Structure 1
Amino acid sequence: MPDAGARTIDLPSLANAEDLLGHNGGTLGVLPRDTLALLLLASGALADRLAELDRATSYASVLRPTWTALAALAPEAIGQQAEVSPEDTGSHTDPQTSETVNNAGRYTAFGTSAGQWTWVDGGGLGAKLSISGALQELSGPLAGTARTNLGAASQAAMDAAEAAIATKASQAAMSAAEAAIATKAGQDDLDALTGVVGGKADAAAVQALDVRTESIEMRIQTLDPDFAGFSYAVADADGTALVIYDLEGQLVISEPDEDVFDPDFSEAIWAVVGQNDLVAQLLRRDGSMAFPGGMGTDTYRVTDIDGDFSENVLTVVDRDDKVLQRIDRAGNVYFPASDQDGSSKPAPTVRRPRVHETLALDINHHVMNGQSNSIGSATYLPVSDPQDVAFSGGIFLQAEETANTLVGIGTVTPEQGIIWNAIQQMKFLIQGSDDYSADEDYEAGDYVILPSSHGTSGASIANLSKGGSTGSYEDALHGVDEAVRLAAAEGKATAVQSLSWVQGESDRYDTAAEYKTKLQAMLADYRADIAARTGQSHDFIVLIYQPSGNQYSFPTGELVPNTIAQAIFEASEEDPRIIIAAPMYQAPHADALHPTSAGKQLVGMQWGKVLYKRVYRGEDWRPVEPRRITKHSARVITIKFHVPEAPLLFDTTNVVDPGDYGFTVEDDSGFVSIASVDLINSDTVRITTSTDIGTNPKLGYAYYGIGGNGGGPITGARGCLRDSDPTVGADGSTNLWNWAETFQKPIPYVKGA
């Protein structure tokens, strides 16, 4: 070429340039610097590397607490990124390089078999830089473009990019770049290319980026518009799916994108949305949570949920601290309320607000007395907490056993089924299980339980009371004395927290008024004598059951009122410290008066649930009981119930319907025929009679048994009404629903009126 002026070799070197001089097909012209960069990225070695990075970042980055945990994991693809927490301070031999490397740091996959991870560097969470700091590091001719496209690339990444240009990419790459200009790619295509640079750089190239930002762009509408491939998503204020769980429970993290379900997000920061964009959960701008899909109007603050996160990196809980979802430190995702993770776990219990003052001491004594069901054997739950204690003489303690010590509960032989299962269930709920968090006030060892039982089989209430012929009352007080003595010897405090009364079958011929008088007198003696021994200033709660088999000894076929159950109901109405833990008609019976071993385990677990709620937590727990009975017309009655966990249900699977679900209507003329019994909302039953209701009407439920029949869900005095309590027993399978109390009340009726 002829010399047309200054030679390029004689021109000064520039540290930067706005554009370059070039030729194409004989035409000389100016090529802007940014266009050249895009051409180099369009094809050739650099484009191939970007494609490789694109494939690698199509898989979510993995975070594991230890190298051991990561080594057990098989990569999804070569190039997948991973990181081990800086808390793992050990070292190991790299499986690819055979060099000794730190456990903590970043890794990339060199194969797809378990353990094929090679150490990259010690960056990531252990050495992350802020975006602003990273931007300040940038220099060189591509720094401005990098700030636009990469946002926070490190100097090393920029040097690598400059080196790629300096080495002059191959002719094939240049030809491809020229072709791209010739086709005049649209701005959208160019933006997409710069997006590849900005969004697909891996950890080795962009060291300053936090590993948590290495994620997949995931739009709900384009990915899965009908939720066919995933179960739900967490969306941000822009409507973007931030977290998605597929139908196999796998977690996918995404970046913010377009609005798909909420036009303004005036109240919420993010939401959990389900199929048809229905909002299931909101995080409000004031930090509180709401559950529009059914959790009610109550809210809680995120900061009030969590303790120390010793096991999980993410936990989603409801207002009662029930864990709906959790991710453990090994990266496993669990959905405790379902079987999505392939396991079956007990459902949590619902925690209601505390209403009553509670006073937990060093040793919390729970006493039981009564007749055979108070001391009979059962199917036994395993020990929930080995720190609970028992008398060395056993749970069944008599006055002549004086040389007692306190021993671990696991060292005594379980013989008294209801009390044993009650304390295991109670502690199971206190300390939590695999599916939900422990009670927020509980720390290991801060609520030690001491159970004792002192009943006598076949005894009447008179013979079990103070001065009675059985000596059971005195045995119980001896247990209180022993607890006080042994606690004092260890410098500890003790108190009786509950008295359980399991009796009534031997007094089946008493009227309700007669038995209630005896019960109230006996309980008054217990309160005075126990307080005198323990010095406690707070009252203990009395838990009690309603028998369902008392009709067995009456003439066959005779309609027999359950007067003992009625007396207990009336006593609990008059004294709120008396709680009916369960009617016995729900429990399968082995004979007329005694539940089966499984039935006594069921009663014990229900007992433990009530002890937990009313005694430990101080909730205002009451059973399913009538609050108001209203006569609306000559033939229509409604009964509004207190319902621990709505809604009410008629259950004829677990209790055989005795007719009209156990309800009866009477007036001065006798029984009034019932045309229908219906649930009209979550807490109200409507009864329609076939004829007009006469004077002095009364409504009964589970009140009558048939003479000659035993107790229980098939032949006992029974009914089919229960609530929907989600609590499952510590056995992992038994539903602990609350069944309606036995009662008979006048029409109309208002509780407390």
Structure 2
Amino acid sequence: MKRLFWIVYLIGVLGLSYYFIDKACSKNYGHKVVVCIPVYGQSYALGEEATRITNFDSLRIKYNGRIVTEKLDYTFGYFDHSSQFKQWLKRVLHYDKKAFELSVYSMAEELALQLGEDTVICIFPGGHGMNTIQQLMKPVEPYNKFIREIATAYDKAQDRGWEFIVPAVCWMQGESDIVEYPDYDYKEYFHRMYNDLNTDIKQVTHQKEDIRIICYQASTITKGLRYKANNYDATEPKAPTAQMELIRDDSLVWVSGPTYPYDFVNESLHIDAVGQQNIGRLAAKSALGIIRNQKRNKGLVPMTYEVEGNDIRIDFNVPCPPLCFDTTQVKKVDNYGFNVVRRDGVDIVSDVTIDQNSVIIHCAESPQNAKLRYGINGEFLKGGRNVGPRGNLRDSEKYVSNWCLMFEKFLSR
């Protein structure tokens, strides 16, 4: 018992010391604007299996302490969704066994490079793995905890006399809505989730500007146990297609990118650390656009479809022309990832070509009443740029390319 007492006592002393040091240091801060852009979702948001490659000390030193967590400090990587006490204990003991690579680390670096020295970038993850969108909506505990941590960051900024704003939240969720086959409209639930986030965050920050969502796209098509190649009645494409349509059509949703162009850990479920970093750099493009009130970034998405005889012409929004097929970063897949599937499960695509900002899909017969798909393929239960669901279409951005989002479209008469 005495040993337990002294352990608890020591933890308490360390915690109080941490608190008072933080309070003392805060007296020396001048005026700052805290730009808070956290990430919320399931395991992708938490970086599961992505071995950390960001050095936290270097992150703090290189950017003059301008990248912080929800505590407005530098204790990165101590997220725990199960208990506030466990998260606090991990911080005190510097326990980082599950400190994974998060997309928001590279996003924050890009923002720190682009924004002024009076700007502080606040980042942290929220959510819970293996949850559908319905299971992450208000009033579940992961959601409540996420809002509380935004409030923590806001309160600390107020204590220091700093301005505080949440321009956007990064959204990384969708895998469970592919593989668990829930019976609801993903877009409907997304809008309900967004309305709650927007209302609750604005109540915390008192800002007038609506929160934007920076949305990635889930690609774990083949992890669904009902998955079969060229299955006309497949439901696995529904959630990714819904995400693409939200990014394309909703004025409050901006893009980061799809996950398929990257390596998956063990070619299974999660992207690796490099993939997380690339998603973060793409998110930074949208974050900067939101902050600077620029034209909305929709990424590489199909805008219109036109059937001409046996051919289909798809016109794309192309951020950085021209379009190209890349079979180096992503291993070549049949017809560069495009399928046109008849009701009997036969793919009738004979060839695919690029014409400026458009793709022409040549079919062996009329594609009317067939389903046009991109990226709906891959080996059963596999993921990633070599064997998973994928396509080869991207734009010509040299730094981090914009890859075409997956989609499905019914070609009615």
Q: TM-score, normalised by structure 1?
A: 0.44
Which of 490, 508, 533 matches 2:160?
490
Does structure 1 conserve the Cα–Cα contact (< 8 Å) formed by 2:138 and 2:193? yes
- Counterpart of 1:647 in structure 2: which amino acid? P
Contact 1:497/1:541 (8 A) holds in 2: yes
C-alpha displacement of 1:506: 1.9
- Residue 385, structure 1, aligned to residue 63, structure 2: yes
Mapping of 1:288-687 within 5 angstroms? 362-376=33-47, 377=50, 378-380=52-54, 382-383=58-59, 385-386=63-64, 387-390=66-69, 391=71, 392=73, 394=76, 396=79, 400=84, 415-428=100-113, 430=114, 442-443=115-116, 445-468=117-140, 471-508=141-178, 509-510=180-181, 514-554=185-225, 557-559=228-230, 561-591=236-266, 592-616=268-292, 618-632=294-308, 634-667=309-342, 670-681=345-356, 683-687=357-361
Distance between the aligned counterparts of 1:701 and 1:497, measured in 2? 32
Q: What does residue 27 of structure 1 align with?
A: none
Q: Are the equivalent residues in 1 in contact too, given 2:221–2:377 (CA < 8 A)?
A: no
Q: Distance in 2 between matches of 1:502 and 1:521?
A: 16
Whole-Å separation in 2 of the counterparts to 1:500 and 1:539: 14
Question: What amino acid maps onto 1:427 in structure 2?
Answer: A
Q: 1:511 to 1:623 in 2, by over 3 A?
A: farther
Is 1:742 equivalent to 2:406 in the alignment? Answer: yes
- Cα deviation for residue 643 of structure 1 reads 0.5
- Give the conservation status (yes or no) of the 8 Å contact 1:367–1:499: yes
1:537 partner SS: coil
From the superposition, tell whether residues 574 and 680 of structure 1 become closer, same or farther in structure 2 (CA, over 3 Å): closer
Q: Which residue of structure 2 lines up, in the alignment, with residue 29 of structure 1?
A: none
- Equivalent-residue separation in structure 1 for 2:153 and 2:80 (angstroms): 11
Note the C-alpha offset of 1:494.
0.7
Residue-by-residue CA offset, 1:195-217 (whole Å, 9 max, x unaligned): xxxxxxxxxxxxxxxxxxxxxxx
**Which one-letter code corresponds to 2:402 in the other structure?**
N
In the TM superposition, residue 669 of structure 1 has moved relative to its aligned partner by 5.7
Please state which structure has a larger fraction of its residues in helix. Answer: 2
Whichever residue aligns with residue 276 of structure 2, its letter is: K
CA contact (8 A) 1:551 1:562 kept: no
Q: Give the conservation status (yes or no) of the 8 Å contact 2:111–2:284.
A: yes
Counterpart-to-counterpart distance in 1, 2:327 and 2:372: 21
Higher percent of residues as strand: 1
Q: Is the 8 A contact 1:379 1:417 kept in 2?
A: no
User: Which structure 1 segments of 5+ residues have no match?
Assistant: 1-360, 405-410, 431-441, 728-735
Q: 1:714 to 1:385 in 2, by over 3 A?
A: same
Structure with max Cα Rg: 1
Secondary structure of the residue aligned to 2:366 is coil
SS of the residue corresponding to residue 586 of structure 1 reads coil
Matched, 1:703 2:387: no
Amino acid in the other structure paired with 2:316:
F
Indicate the percent of aligned positions where both proteins have the same amino acid: 24
What do the CA deviations read for 1:667-691 (whole angstroms, capped 9, x no partner)?
Answer: 556545112111122x111111112
Per the alignment, do residues 705 and 566 of structure 1 end up closer, same or farther by CA in structure 2, a change over 3 Å counting? farther
Distance 1:620 1:505, change over 3 A: closer
The residue that corresponds to 1:98 in the other structure is none
Q: Which digits, 9 at most, give the CA deviation of each residue in 1:628-666, with x for residues without a partner?
A: 21122x212211111100110000111122211111124
Q: Is the 8 A contact 1:675 1:688 kept in 2?
A: yes
Alpha-carbon distance between aligned partners in 2 of 1:684 and 1:610, rounded to the nearest angstrom: 24
| In 1: Cα distance, 2:244 partner to 2:42 partner | 19
Q: Residue type of the partner of 1:699?
A: L
Distance 2:363 2:350 in 1: 5
Partners of 1:548 and 1:675 in 2: how far apart?
25
Alignment of 1:693 with 2:357, yes or no, is no
Code of the residue aligned with 1:723 in structure 2: it is D
Q: Counterpart amino acid of 1:641?
A: F
Please tell me the residue identity of whatever aligns with 2:222.
Answer: Q
Q: Is the 8 A contact 2:298 2:317 kept in 1?
A: yes
Alpha-carbon distance change, 403 to 715 in structure 1, aligned in 2, over 3 angstroms = closer
Tell me the amino acid that sits aligned with residue 568 of structure 1.
Q
SS of alignment partner, residue 39 of structure 2: strand
1:598-646 deviations in whole A, cap 9, x for unaligned?
Answer: 22222222222332334446343221011121122x2122111111001
Counterpart-to-counterpart distance in 1, 2:319 and 2:219: 22
- Root-mean-square deviation (CA, aligned residues, Å) is 3.0
CA distance in structure 2 between the aligned counterparts of 1:678 and 1:454, rounded to whole angstroms:
42
From the superposition, tell whether residues 692 and 556 of structure 1 become closer, same or farther in structure 2 (CA, over 3 Å): closer
2: CA distance, partners of 1:506 / 1:724: 32
Residue 426 of structure 1, CA deviation: 3.0
| Aligned residues between the structures | 357
AA aligned to 1:716 is G
- Provide closer, same or farther for how the CA distance between residues 447 and 664 of structure 1 changes in structure 2, counting only shifts above 3 A: same
Structure 1 contact 672–693 (Cα < 8 Å) conserved: no
- Work out the CA distance in 2 between the residues paired with 1:583 and 1:676: 24
Aligned to 1:454, the other structure's residue is in SS state strand
Counterpart of 2:307, as a letter, is K
Listed one character per residue, the Cα deviations across residues 457-512 of structure 1 (whole Å, up to 9, x for unaligned) are 223323322122xx211111111211221121122221111111111112223368
The CA distance in 2 between the partners of 1:627 and 1:506, in whole Å, is: 27
Q: Contact 2:300–2:403 at 8 Å: present in 1 too?
A: yes
Contact (CA 8 Å) 2:314, 2:358: kept in 1 or not?
Answer: yes
Separation of aligned partners in 2, 1:426 and 1:412: 27
User: In 2, are the aligned partners of 1:369 and 1:472 still within 8 Å (CA)?
Assistant: no
Structure 2 unaligned segments of length 5 or more: list them.
1-31, 89-93
Structure 1 residue matching 2:123: 3-state secondary structure: strand
Q: 2:9 corresponds to which residue?
A: none
TM-score, normalised with respect to structure 2: 0.78
User: Whole-Å Cα distance in 2 between the matches of residues 506 and 690 of structure 1?
Assistant: 36
Which amino acid in 2 is paired with 1:389?
V
- Could you tell me how far apart the structure 2 residues matched to 1:485 and 1:456 are? 24
Residues 403 and 723 of structure 1: CA distance in aligned 2, closer, same or farther (over 3 Å): closer
